[in-house]
Chains A and B, each alone.
Chain A
Protein backbone atom coordinates (compact mmCIF):
# COMPACT_ATOMS: atom_id res chain seq x y z
CA UNK A 1 0.00 0.00 0.00
CA UNK A 2 1.21 3.48 -0.88
CA UNK A 3 1.16 6.09 1.88
CA UNK A 4 1.35 9.83 1.19
CA UNK A 5 1.95 12.69 3.61
CA UNK A 6 1.31 16.40 3.08
CA UNK A 7 2.18 19.76 4.66
CA UNK A 8 3.28 19.52 8.33
CA UNK A 9 2.43 15.82 8.49
CA UNK A 10 5.03 15.29 5.71
CA UNK A 11 7.56 17.45 7.57
CA UNK A 12 7.10 15.60 10.85
CA UNK A 13 7.16 12.13 9.29
CA UNK A 14 10.21 13.19 7.28
CA UNK A 15 9.08 11.84 3.92
CA UNK A 16 6.43 12.56 1.28
CA UNK A 17 5.55 8.95 0.51
CA UNK A 18 6.39 5.32 1.13
CA UNK A 19 5.19 1.79 0.38
CA UNK A 20 4.27 -0.46 3.29
CA UNK A 21 3.25 -4.07 3.83
CA UNK A 22 0.68 -4.08 6.59
CA UNK A 23 0.16 -6.84 9.15
CA UNK A 24 -3.28 -8.41 8.95
CA UNK A 25 -4.20 -6.83 12.27
CA UNK A 26 -4.29 -3.41 10.56
CA UNK A 27 -7.83 -3.20 9.21
CA UNK A 28 -8.87 0.44 9.46
CA UNK A 29 -7.36 3.91 9.05
CA UNK A 30 -7.29 4.17 12.84
CA UNK A 31 -5.35 0.88 13.06
CA UNK A 32 -2.91 2.21 10.46
CA UNK A 33 -2.32 5.39 12.48
CA UNK A 34 -1.63 3.30 15.60
CA UNK A 35 0.72 1.04 13.67
CA UNK A 36 2.62 4.01 12.18
CA UNK A 37 2.80 5.71 15.58
CA UNK A 38 4.49 2.65 17.03
CA UNK A 39 7.22 2.70 14.36
CA UNK A 40 9.14 5.79 15.48
CA UNK A 41 9.07 9.05 17.37
CA UNK A 42 8.66 10.98 14.09
CA UNK A 43 5.35 9.23 13.32
CA UNK A 44 4.25 9.61 16.92
CA UNK A 45 4.91 13.38 16.60
CA UNK A 46 3.00 13.62 13.33
CA UNK A 47 -0.08 11.92 14.79
CA UNK A 48 0.28 13.30 18.31
CA UNK A 49 -2.97 15.28 18.47
CA UNK A 50 -5.82 12.81 18.16
CA UNK A 51 -8.37 13.70 15.52
CA UNK A 52 -6.34 16.53 13.96
CA UNK A 53 -4.73 14.67 11.06
CA UNK A 54 -7.15 13.92 8.23
CA UNK A 55 -7.07 10.87 5.98
CA UNK A 56 -8.06 9.99 2.44
CA UNK A 57 -8.32 6.60 0.74
CA UNK A 58 -7.85 6.67 -3.02
CA UNK A 59 -8.54 10.43 -3.22
CA UNK A 60 -11.63 10.46 -0.99
CA UNK A 61 -11.89 11.84 2.53
CA UNK A 62 -12.49 9.14 5.13
CA UNK A 63 -12.91 8.85 8.90
CA UNK A 64 -10.61 6.80 11.11
CA UNK A 65 -13.05 3.86 11.16
CA UNK A 66 -12.83 3.49 7.36
CA UNK A 67 -11.66 0.05 6.25
CA UNK A 68 -8.44 -0.32 4.29
CA UNK A 69 -9.49 -3.40 2.29
CA UNK A 70 -8.91 -2.71 -1.40
CA UNK A 71 -7.16 0.63 -0.80
CA UNK A 72 -4.24 1.44 -3.12
CA UNK A 73 -3.28 4.83 -1.69
CA UNK A 74 -3.82 6.30 1.77
CA UNK A 75 -2.94 9.92 2.45
CA UNK A 76 -2.54 11.79 5.74
CA UNK A 77 -2.65 15.57 6.00
CA UNK A 78 -3.59 18.50 8.24
CA UNK A 79 -6.96 20.27 8.01
CA UNK A 80 -7.14 22.00 4.66
CA UNK A 81 -6.33 25.68 4.22
CA UNK A 82 -6.74 26.36 0.50
CA UNK A 83 -8.96 28.84 -1.29
Chain B
Protein backbone atom coordinates (compact mmCIF):
# COMPACT_ATOMS: atom_id res chain seq x y z
CA UNK B 1 0.00 0.00 0.00
CA UNK B 2 1.21 3.53 -0.68
CA UNK B 3 2.50 5.62 2.20
CA UNK B 4 -0.27 7.96 3.35
CA UNK B 5 1.26 11.34 4.15
CA UNK B 6 -0.53 14.19 5.90
CA UNK B 7 1.27 17.50 6.52
CA UNK B 8 -0.56 20.42 8.08
CA UNK B 9 0.49 23.79 9.45
CA UNK B 10 -2.27 25.39 11.48
CA UNK B 11 -3.02 27.85 14.25
CA UNK B 12 -5.52 25.58 15.98
CA UNK B 13 -4.81 22.73 18.36
CA UNK B 14 -4.68 19.07 17.34
CA UNK B 15 -6.04 16.00 19.10
CA UNK B 16 -3.50 13.17 19.22
CA UNK B 17 -6.06 10.37 19.52
CA UNK B 18 -8.12 11.67 16.57
CA UNK B 19 -4.99 12.02 14.44
CA UNK B 20 -3.95 8.42 15.23
CA UNK B 21 -7.47 7.18 14.48
CA UNK B 22 -7.43 9.01 11.11
CA UNK B 23 -4.01 7.54 10.30
CA UNK B 24 -4.97 3.92 11.00
CA UNK B 25 -8.61 3.94 9.83
CA UNK B 26 -9.36 1.19 7.32
CA UNK B 27 -5.84 -0.22 7.34
CA UNK B 28 -4.84 -3.72 8.37
CA UNK B 29 -1.18 -3.53 7.31
CA UNK B 30 -0.03 -1.41 10.25
CA UNK B 31 1.54 -3.07 13.26
CA UNK B 32 2.98 -0.01 15.00
CA UNK B 33 2.21 3.67 15.44
CA UNK B 34 4.71 6.00 17.14
CA UNK B 35 3.52 9.39 18.36
CA UNK B 36 5.69 12.37 19.32
CA UNK B 37 4.18 15.57 20.67
CA UNK B 38 6.21 18.72 21.24
CA UNK B 39 4.70 20.90 23.97
CA UNK B 40 5.27 24.54 24.93
CA UNK B 41 7.33 24.63 28.16
CA UNK B 42 6.72 27.23 30.83
CA UNK B 43 10.42 28.12 30.78
CA UNK B 44 13.80 26.73 31.77
CA UNK B 45 15.06 26.98 35.35
CA UNK B 46 14.24 30.38 36.84
CA UNK B 47 13.37 31.87 33.48
CA UNK B 48 9.59 31.76 33.05
CA UNK B 49 7.78 32.46 29.79
CA UNK B 50 4.19 33.63 29.56
CA UNK B 51 3.64 32.75 25.89
CA UNK B 52 5.37 31.93 22.63
CA UNK B 53 4.78 33.06 19.05
CA UNK B 54 5.67 30.76 16.19
CA UNK B 55 6.36 32.23 12.76
CA UNK B 56 6.87 30.14 9.61
CA UNK B 57 7.69 30.48 5.93
CA UNK B 58 4.46 29.45 4.18
CA UNK B 59 5.12 27.22 1.21
CA UNK B 60 8.69 26.35 2.15
CA UNK B 61 7.71 24.90 5.54
CA UNK B 62 5.35 22.40 3.90
CA UNK B 63 7.86 21.65 1.11
CA UNK B 64 10.73 21.13 3.54
CA UNK B 65 8.70 18.78 5.75
CA UNK B 66 7.57 16.85 2.66
CA UNK B 67 11.21 16.43 1.60
CA UNK B 68 12.01 15.03 5.06
CA UNK B 69 9.11 12.59 4.82
CA UNK B 70 10.40 11.43 1.42
CA UNK B 71 13.83 10.87 2.96
CA UNK B 72 12.29 8.90 5.87
CA UNK B 73 10.39 6.72 3.37
CA UNK B 74 13.63 6.09 1.50
CA UNK B 75 15.34 4.92 4.70
CA UNK B 76 12.62 2.92 6.45
CA UNK B 77 9.48 1.03 5.43
CA UNK B 78 7.07 3.56 6.90
CA UNK B 79 3.46 3.07 5.83
CA UNK B 80 1.90 6.32 7.05
CA UNK B 81 3.09 9.68 8.36
CA UNK B 82 1.20 12.61 9.87
CA UNK B 83 2.96 15.85 10.78
CA UNK B 84 1.06 18.79 12.25
CA UNK B 85 2.91 21.97 13.25
CA UNK B 86 1.15 24.84 14.95
CA UNK B 87 1.94 28.52 14.37
CA UNK B 88 0.78 31.73 16.02
CA UNK B 89 0.55 32.42 19.74
CA UNK B 90 0.86 29.49 22.16
CA UNK B 91 0.95 29.37 25.95
CA UNK B 92 2.79 26.91 28.24
CA UNK B 93 1.12 23.51 28.09
CA UNK B 94 -0.08 23.97 24.51
CA UNK B 95 0.77 21.46 21.81
CA UNK B 96 3.33 22.69 19.25
CA UNK B 97 4.07 19.80 16.94
CA UNK B 98 2.84 16.27 16.27
CA UNK B 99 4.73 13.55 14.43
CA UNK B 100 3.00 10.20 13.83
CA UNK B 101 4.74 7.38 12.00
CA UNK B 102 3.21 3.99 11.27
CA UNK B 103 4.75 0.82 9.92
CA UNK B 104 4.30 -2.95 9.94
CA UNK B 105 6.88 -3.30 12.70
CA UNK B 106 7.88 -0.93 15.48
CA UNK B 107 11.54 -0.29 14.63
CA UNK B 108 10.85 1.61 11.41
CA UNK B 109 8.18 3.72 13.12
CA UNK B 110 10.42 4.61 16.10
CA UNK B 111 13.40 5.50 13.92
CA UNK B 112 11.43 7.46 11.35
CA UNK B 113 9.72 9.51 14.08
CA UNK B 114 13.03 10.42 15.70
CA UNK B 115 14.64 11.23 12.34
CA UNK B 116 11.70 13.42 11.32
CA UNK B 117 11.74 15.42 14.57
CA UNK B 118 15.52 15.92 14.45
CA UNK B 119 15.38 17.09 10.84
CA UNK B 120 12.35 19.24 11.38
CA UNK B 121 13.93 21.11 14.30
CA UNK B 122 17.13 21.86 12.39
CA UNK B 123 15.77 22.48 8.88
CA UNK B 124 12.08 23.32 8.73
CA UNK B 125 11.56 27.11 8.51
CA UNK B 126 9.84 27.90 11.80
CA UNK B 127 10.97 30.46 14.38
CA UNK B 128 9.95 30.80 18.02
CA UNK B 129 9.75 34.05 19.94
CA UNK B 130 9.26 33.80 23.71
CA UNK B 131 7.27 36.31 25.71
CA UNK B 132 8.63 36.99 29.17
CA UNK B 133 7.45 39.26 31.91
CA UNK B 134 10.45 41.07 33.39
CA UNK B 135 9.95 43.74 36.05
CA UNK B 136 6.30 43.87 35.07
CA UNK B 137 7.16 44.58 31.42
CA UNK B 138 6.32 42.08 28.68
CA UNK B 139 9.33 41.37 26.45
CA UNK B 140 9.49 39.36 23.26
CA UNK B 141 12.74 37.57 22.46
CA UNK B 142 13.61 35.35 19.50
CA UNK B 143 14.78 31.92 20.63
CA UNK B 144 18.39 31.11 19.71
CA UNK B 145 19.02 27.94 17.74
CA UNK B 146 20.75 25.23 19.73
CA UNK B 147 23.88 23.55 18.39
CA UNK B 148 22.49 20.37 19.96
CA UNK B 149 19.59 20.44 17.48
CA UNK B 150 22.03 20.62 14.53
CA UNK B 151 24.03 17.80 16.13
CA UNK B 152 20.89 15.72 16.53
CA UNK B 153 20.07 16.16 12.85
CA UNK B 154 23.68 15.59 11.76
CA UNK B 155 23.90 12.15 13.39
CA UNK B 156 21.54 10.83 10.67
CA UNK B 157 23.92 12.01 7.90
CA UNK B 158 25.94 8.85 7.67
A: residues with CB less than 8 A from B are 4, 6-8, 56, 59-61, 75, 77-83
**For residue B125, which residues in chain A have a CB less than 8 angstroms away from its CB?**
6, 56, 75, 77, 80, 82
Q: Is B128 touching A82 in the complex (CB atoms < 8 A)? A: yes
Q: A10 vs B97: C-alpha distance in the bound complex, in angstroms?
A: 24
Contacts known (A7-B127, A75-B60, A77-B125); A83 close to B55, Cβ less than 8 A = no
- The number of inter-chain residue pairs (CB within 8 angstroms) is 71
- Give Cα A32 to B96, complex, Å: 34
Interface residues of B, CB < 8 Å — how many? 29
CB contacts (< 8 Å) of B57 on chain A: these are 4, 6, 56, 59, 75, 77
Which secondary structure dominates chain B's binding surface? mixed
Other 13 A-B pairs with CB < 8 A, given A83-B117, A83-B149 = A59-B57, A60-B60, A77-B127, A79-B145, A80-B121, A81-B142, A82-B54, A82-B125, A82-B126, A83-B38, A83-B120, A83-B124, A83-B126
Give me the interface of B with A, judged by CB distance under 8 Å. Answer: 38, 54-57, 59-61, 63-64, 85, 96-97, 117, 120-129, 142-145, 149
A48, chain B: closest CB distance, angstroms:
15
Pick the contact of A59 from B64, B128, B142 — CB < 8 Å?
Answer: B64
28 CB-based A-B contacts, threshold 8 Å: A6-B55, A6-B57, A8-B142, A56-B57, A56-B60, A59-B63, A59-B64, A60-B60, A60-B63, A61-B64, A61-B123, A77-B57, A77-B125, A77-B127, A78-B127, A80-B124, A80-B127, A81-B126, A81-B142, A81-B145, A82-B54, A82-B56, A82-B121, A82-B124, A82-B125, A82-B126, A83-B38, A83-B121
